[in-house]
Structure 1
């Protein structure tokens, strides 16, 4: 008698044993790559020109992505990635263990400076702490994983805004959360780092630097927070920038430690 379990198909081999992905779904999702590569919203005519699809087919696929919440339309009728895409990106970074992979760097930075350090990413249009290492100092700033930070006043928020790609920046500007003034963001881009405003958390100063993703965008913000009475910009700037560069190299898959 045949054992019905003797030839059980392993899940990772199912695709080779008659189970196929839904081609219509794949073709619809292909449009997301088109929007991800674009620096601005696209009109239906531009989508058909770029893909070679008929107007009816392109519209049906765009409508499907709209209903799924992955795309949205602006006031002019053009299509763009929705903030749901930011949530997916944040979840992808979290599930890829960016926090866990960065922890050794965070620990070394914390030991070097003796201050609490953290890593934040954009989640639903706000900076969210995904990794942190606290110092042993009796007088320290405590930030828990999952804490949502201020976009306008926090050092991490200013970095994530200043170094956001054009599409993400536009979505942040279209949102309801206040951003730092343009001149402040311009200075952050020129400096390559940010200091917190000082009014979001009284008595605490934050310093943050951008962590680059493989495409050169801003994947996260590496920050240090400490009581303002012992904040020394010249003391913290070099180590934080070096640590941010090291995590950026990790995300690129580089085995070299930045100098």
Structure 2
């Protein structure tokens, strides 16, 4: 009893939920209470009670195996709100404005969510001909530059499960709807470390995306350029890769410093 009581007191009550959420976010994959407790060192009943409470409140959700947990809707919204805070967003928009000014085309930051990539920020080109995809728009994983960039960072087993179960619905005649063809495209993205969308999501639009990494070299979000084909080609966008990667590094530092 003394040992249990000592461990209970080692972490203040008002910090336990926060430390648990921090550990789940750090791991970035579904986590069991047992695995979490290897770090926290609390009694098993306490850890299971914390997981249960967080699941009830929507901060965690149980994974398909029934034993592990991952970020729930409220925790995902919390992360988006943190990244959208006025301090972070002001500097992020400054980076995006400078990038858009240099390149002359619309640039945006997107984050992965359950059903696709969500636009977190964007700066529009000054050209009158532009693609309207406002902040908050959700776009598919399988046919967008940002989505394919995200898919390329999934472990092979998880990517395989996605390809075998996702509805790869055609958006244009160029959308990759065959799982094997999409897998090959994702493997190319892993090699190149950037992704393209050659009118796969929207006719008349091309795009290119690079990753924005967190402090553990996991994809946190993506940085993309998209433009109408009347004005540019994929090759034109690829010519801006160095500038795009530099901006992605700056955006990563904004969040992590």
* More divergent stretch after superposition (133-142 vs 193-202): 133-142
Q: 2:209 matched to which residue of 1? A: 208
Change (3 A) 1:63 1:237: same
* More divergent stretch after superposition (178-187 vs 207-216): 178-187
Alpha-carbon deviation of 1:207? 1.4
Alpha-carbon deviation of 1:100? 3.0
- Residues 6-55 of structure 1: CA distance to partner in whole angstroms, max 9, x if unpaired? xxxxxxxxxxxxxxxx9424213322233233354343443444433222
Partners of 1:101 and 1:185 in 2: CA distance: 31
Q: 1:257 matched to which residue of 2? A: none
Partners of 1:25 and 1:167 in 2: CA distance: 37
SS in 2 for 1:196: strand
* More divergent stretch after superposition (152-161 vs 114-123): 114-123
Alpha-carbon deviation of 1:173? 7.3
Cα pair 1:39 1:167 within 8 Å, conserved: no
Partners of 1:157 and 1:95 in 2: CA distance: 24
TM-score (norm 2): 0.74
Instruction: Give structure 2 stretches of 5+ with no counterpart.
Output: 1-10, 170-175, 177-181
Alpha-carbon deviation of 1:174? 10
Who wins on radius of gyration, i.e. which is larger?
Answer: 1
Alpha-carbon deviation of 1:167? 11
Are 1:81 and 2:70 counterparts?
Answer: yes
Partners of 1:35 and 1:173 in 2: CA distance: 25
- Residues 155-194 of structure 1: CA distance to partner in whole angstroms, max 9, x if unpaired? 1211233235899979977996759732222211211111
Q: Which of residues 121, 134, 150 is equivalent to 2:124? A: 134
Partners of 1:253 and 1:99 in 2: CA distance: 9
Q: Report the count of equivalent residues.
A: 233
Instruction: Give structure 1 stretches of 5+ with no counterpart.
Output: 1-21, 255-259
Alpha-carbon deviation of 1:242? 2.1
Are 1:195 and 2:163 counterparts?
Answer: no
Change (3 A) 1:167 1:252: farther
Matching of residues 171-182 of structure 1 within 5 Å: 178=168, 181-182=182-183
Q: Which of residues 43, 62, 67 is equivalent to 2:51? A: 62
Are 1:107 and 2:91 counterparts?
Answer: no
Q: 1:220 matched to which residue of 2? A: 221
